Structure 1
Amino acid sequence: MLKTLKMSRQTMRVQDFSMSDAGNHPNKVPFKCALFAVDQPSDGSPHGAGGKKIRISSGVCDQCLHTFVGMALNIDYVNGMSDHDPRFKVAVIEKAYRAMDGYAWVEGYIYGKDFPDVVATIRYYNGLAAEYNWSEYQFGASLEMEASVQNASDAEDVLDVIEFCGTGAAILFAEAAAYKTTSFAARNSKKEQGDVEMTPEQIKAMEDAMKALQEGMTSITSSVQSVVTEVGSIKTDLTNMKAAKEEEEKKTAEEQTAADLKAAKDKVAELENELKEIKAKGTPPAEPERKTFSASSLLSKFGKTDINGGSEVTDYKTFCASVDALDLPSSESFKLKLQAKAQFAEKESV
């Protein structure tokens, strides 16, 4: 089972964490640190271990320790350098190995030019720890890793790490670290040009500034949370308004459909009533017979009046005009005109 483990806020043993000379690069302050003891249960339970201690064997260490190479070290100013802050990375691991003293070691460098306050803070507090034997001011390191674990066969409260992947580490006060005896020395054996030694007053001023920054960040976080809450409220209101509008539109559409259905029913009822009234009055009168003209009837009228009831028809041309006025089928009209032409021819020959 894969677990994310962070060795902090626990009573677990730690080895030395020391910084050496700055070297040739202006932004590199080398460090060396023992992350954890090999083949020994931890003094306390790391975050993610469910209250149990953990143990990393030498075999697992040799197999997986290289995964810390390239990972970063962070420091947590917001919580008084007693926890992890993965987003505030100040150093990088270049080398990882198991030493003969029974510890897994890592080496790398802090970005001294980018984070001079980190270097100065470590030097100051480590100086107090060394001078007055104030172990609570000694800096240490706390590892971060994802691990696959199983219950130990020889102890109920121990988990054996069977595989891990190092994801980083944190620089913090040794009392809050996973392994308490870790130390992070901030003294260089020689002083580089441009290095600035900070006085206690300067350190105090820096701490006050960091505290003010922390308070400002807390205020900003509160303001952002307030804005987020307000935006959430606005989104809720918009969602409610949209839902109400959709409900109203749906209701309006349903009302319109109901109105159309009622109008259709009323029309059907009206037609049914009219049909009942017609049936009640009996059989409806027959449709008047349309007046039609046959060729013989039209010819019988010829010689008296025109076909439309006008004056007497005396010539063929007038007769044809009268026939055209009746809008008869072409066959009938043509037949009448032929018959009329023959009669007019007979009449003229007499």
Structure 2
Amino acid sequence: MLKTLKMSNSKMRVQDFKLSDAGSHPNKVPFKCVLFTVDQPSDGSPSGAGGKLIRISSSVCDQYLQTFVGMALNIDYAAGMSDHEPRFKVAVIDKAYRSMDGCAWVEGYIYGKDFPDVVATIRYYNGLAAEYNWSEYQFGASLEMEASVQNAADMENVLDVMEFCGTGAAILFADAAAYKTTSFAARDNKPKEDVKMTPEEIKAMQDAMKAIQDGMSTITASVQNVVTEVGTIKSDLTSMKAANAEVEQKTAEEQAAADLKAANDKTAALEKELADLKASHTPPEPERKTFSAANLLSKYGKVEESATSDFSTFCASVDALNLPSGESMVLKMKAKASFGVKEGE
């Protein structure tokens, strides 16, 4: 399992800091430093190692050292340049290799135009270390990595690094690094010109940087508050949208129910109106087809007007014709309807 290790703490033997010519880019101040030595335990215990020393073999170094390329270097003004500050990155690594003497080197450049105070601070303190042999002012580098470790078989209190991934490094005073043979050297874009700063100026610069970092912390807190408020607003907006959608759905359902009720009421009214029309409308009795007495006797020859004056006379005229009884009965029945004679008369 990978552990996060930061190489810091304890004393170290330092190398001389040297300035040399640099390239022409105004924002690149090249540096070169040793991160660690291979095949030997660290001089101090890195953060995350549980108080134990660590050891990186040459084979593990060769396999994973390139993971540092592209990673950044940071510096911590607020802690007196003796610790890591990953959020304050001032340089980048663009080359990593192992030298024949067993040192893991990295090279890159500081953003000199963006951080002139960092370059000036390194030069000033390394100058003091070189001039007065004040090794505590020599700058070095402390690596940052995620590593898989196991207990060393040949040494107690030592962890062997089996694999690692470099995540960066810190520029700090050499007596704060875990590997005591590291050094940090930066080359100037302006050879033959050293920047001189008094201790008071350095102190003022450190105070200014601390104030900047405090301001950044305040801004970070404010941004976090804004993020929280935005999250609350989004949550409220989501709730409002859900409530509006529910109201709109309810309104639509109520409107559909009202439309359905109106349609049902209209259908019921139409059905009642149709029923009323059916109830009030009585079809007329079919017109009975009647025959006049004259018509009934006409086929038997000329009919006297007196023969059709009333029903009795008509019946007498029929009897006088001496017709078959059936035919005589039919004529009398038809004439009965023509004369409007009721039953029993």
Q: Name the % identity.
A: 61
1-structure distance, mates of 2:208, 2:270:
92
- Indicate the residue corresponding to 2:247 in structure 1: 248
**Structure 1, unaligned runs of 5 or more:** 290-350
- Indicate the residue corresponding to 2:235 in structure 1: 236
Asked if 1:73 corresponds to 2:88, the answer is no
Normalising by the residue count of structure 1, what TM-score does the alignment of the two structures yield?
A: 0.61
- Indicate the residue corresponding to 2:282 in structure 1: 285
RMSD: 4.2
- Indicate the residue corresponding to 1:258 in structure 2: 257
2-structure distance, mates of 1:275, 1:51:
101
Check conservation: 1:55, 1:159, Cα contact below 8 A: yes
Q: How many correspondences in the alignment?
A: 280
1-structure distance, mates of 2:284, 2:167:
103
Give the CA deviation at 1:286.
3.2
Normalising by the residue count of structure 2, what TM-score does the alignment of the two structures yield?
A: 0.62
- Indicate the residue corresponding to 1:21 in structure 2: 19
- Indicate the residue corresponding to 2:45 in structure 1: 44
Give the CA deviation at 1:243.
1.9
Distance 1:52 1:193, change over 3 A: closer
- Indicate the residue corresponding to 1:171 in structure 2: 171
- Indicate the residue corresponding to 1:85 in structure 2: 86
Check conservation: 1:6, 1:142, Cα contact below 8 A: no
Give the CA deviation at 1:34.
2.4
Residues 195-243 of structure 1: CA deviation (Å, up to 9, x unaligned): 3211112212212221222232233323333333333333233222222
Check conservation: 1:141, 1:170, Cα contact below 8 A: yes
Give the CA deviation at 1:133.
4.9
1-structure distance, mates of 2:69, 2:240:
55
- Indicate the residue corresponding to 2:210 in structure 1: 211
1-structure distance, mates of 2:266, 2:50:
78
Give the CA deviation at 1:256.
1.2
- 1:147-186 matched pairs, under 5 angstroms: 147=147, 149=148, 151-152=150-151, 154=153, 160-174=160-174, 176-179=176-179, 182-184=182-184
Distance 1:78 1:248, change over 3 A: farther
Give the CA deviation at 1:145.
3.7
Give the CA deviation at 1:274.
6.0
Residues 105-142 of structure 1: CA deviation (Å, up to 9, x unaligned): 3345545555331122123344566748573x543212
2-structure distance, mates of 1:159, 1:88:
29
Secondary structure in 2 matching 1:143: strand
Secondary structure in 2 matching 1:151: strand
- 1:275-314 matched pairs, under 5 angstroms: 285-286=282-283
Give the CA deviation at 1:83.
0.9
Secondary structure in 1 matching 2:98: strand
Check conservation: 2:19, 2:185, Cα contact below 8 A: no
Check conservation: 1:17, 1:141, Cα contact below 8 A: no
